[in-house]
A and B are shown apart, each in its own frame.
Chain A
Amino acid sequence: QVRLVQSGAEVKRPGASVKVSCKASGYNFIDYTLHWVRQAPGQGLEWLGWIDRDSGKIQYSQKFQGRLTITRDTYATTAYMELSRLISEDTAVYFCAREGQTSGWYEGCDYWGQGAPVTVSS
């Protein structure tokens, strides 16, 4: 079955970087776009960016441009989200989510990772 398993909780100092992984299994990894979404404590959902299924092209939210790097290792079927120059407002749970599709037709973000808590604190 489809699974997205993310790396564990992280505690980082302000100014540091964090790299979260998302290991995919149960489907052909490069056939699906992978999104990253975060949720600050008690807050709503915020989209960070995606890595395109075919081309591997990356789209970032302008808000995080220059601080956010999304990559993937197709051999390891794992996607990564790295956020640099962390500030306290980056404290959040970071989710990866697969964008469903059938023959290229959009079907929503149908599978989500369990979330990776990141705490930024001095």
Chain B
Amino acid sequence: DTAVSQTPKYLVTQMGNDKSIKCEQNLGHDTMYWYKQDSKKFLKIMFSYNNKELIINETVPNRFSPKSPDKAHLNLHINSLELGDSAVYFCASSQDDLIMNTEAFFGQGTRLTVV
């Protein structure tokens, strides 16, 4: 079973549209994230949720709205898509333990192309 799964893997859409990317993890983790990898291959965190609550929002435009219906899911909804939103979006999860450090598990990515 895939630990962190994202759908769709590829998404091509026109400017101005609204789209969603879904993410699910079956690891029992309580923290989930969205990262964006742009054309220059830099990976940057966008959001972090812990137990369904937002804990990190890295100055992402309001057009991006994460939604966490439960601990195992963190979906990313994007309104009014722009050309600059084209990138690969990665979902990740980890067990945020205040004592022990653990690693983050990443999904396979969603390649979003806005035309």
Q: Do A and B bind each other?
A: no
* A interface residues (Cβ-Cβ under 8 A, vs B): none
* B interface residues (Cβ-Cβ under 8 A, vs A): none
